Amino acid sequence: MKILIVEDEQKTGDYLKQGLSESGFVTDLARDGVDGLHLALTDDYDLVVLDVMLPRLDGWQVLREIRQKGKHLPVLFLTARDQVEDRVKGLEYGADDYLVKPFAFSELLARVRALLRRGRTSESELLHVADLELDLLRRRVTRAGKRINLTAKEFALLELLLRRHGEVLPRSLIASQVWDMNFDSDTNVIEVAVRRLRAKVDDDFEPKLIRTVRGMGYVIEIPEPA
């Protein structure tokens, strides 16, 4: 299990690194937000311990970038201020848990272990692209932490797109998988459903994730930067 610690305060950073290493984790320590983000996106971690007040790039920006790039590893953020807004903001940006400084190391360790356990069991039940998440178990969809209500067909359509994300799905495949019907019977049904799904998951958010590939079908993916 590999943990990334992003913490600029020398003493706290060293203390966390030492403590987590002694508890059997492989750890990397970044001293500012830019380095932390770079490591989080390029290396393969099981969890990030993220301080909020950081030089160069603050913890909120790091967290947002991590989620926008579609990384779904658990993030535990550390906040020095016991403010409700901070906690709400962190959880809205996609953090999984938080600790208010100063904290006991045993408390941090307990949170880390709980998050790692949760991450493992829910992995196969959670589909996502960028900040769009579909929870199969709870039949729930959220984007940027906001709940989105879908009909059963829209849910099935989104599930199919997410299961094969990055792949262009022909209308015939969507028709047979979601509607159990032949492509020829009524393609309009698919177009209408995709339009409705888009209105719910893409209209109020950036980036737009569902794309029509003319003459081919539909794909869900994080768009390439223009």
45: phi then psi, degrees, rounded to nearest 5: -105, 155
Residue 130's H or E segment, with its range, is: none
Nearest CB to Ca ion, comparing residues 82 and 203: 82
| Cβ at position 71, least distance to Ca ion in Å | 22
| Residues ≥6 apart with Cβ < 8 Å to 201 | 132, 141, 143, 148, 158, 209, 210
| Cβ at position 8, least distance to Ca ion in Å | 5
| Cβ at position 175, least distance to Ca ion in Å | 53
Nearest CB to Ca ion, comparing residues 31 and 72: 31
Per-residue burial over 104-133, b if 16 or more Cβ lie within 10 Å, else e, is eeeebeebbeebbeebeeeeeebbbbbbbb
Nearest CB to Ca ion, comparing residues 8 and 202: 8
**Nearest Cα residue to 219 out of 203, 204, 202, 205:** 202
Nearest CB to Ca ion, comparing residues 8 and 65: 8
| Cβ at position 60, least distance to Ca ion in Å | 13
Q: Which residues contact Ca ion by CB under 5 A?
A: 8, 51, 53
- Please give the residue whose beta carbon sits closest to Ca ion in the complex: 53
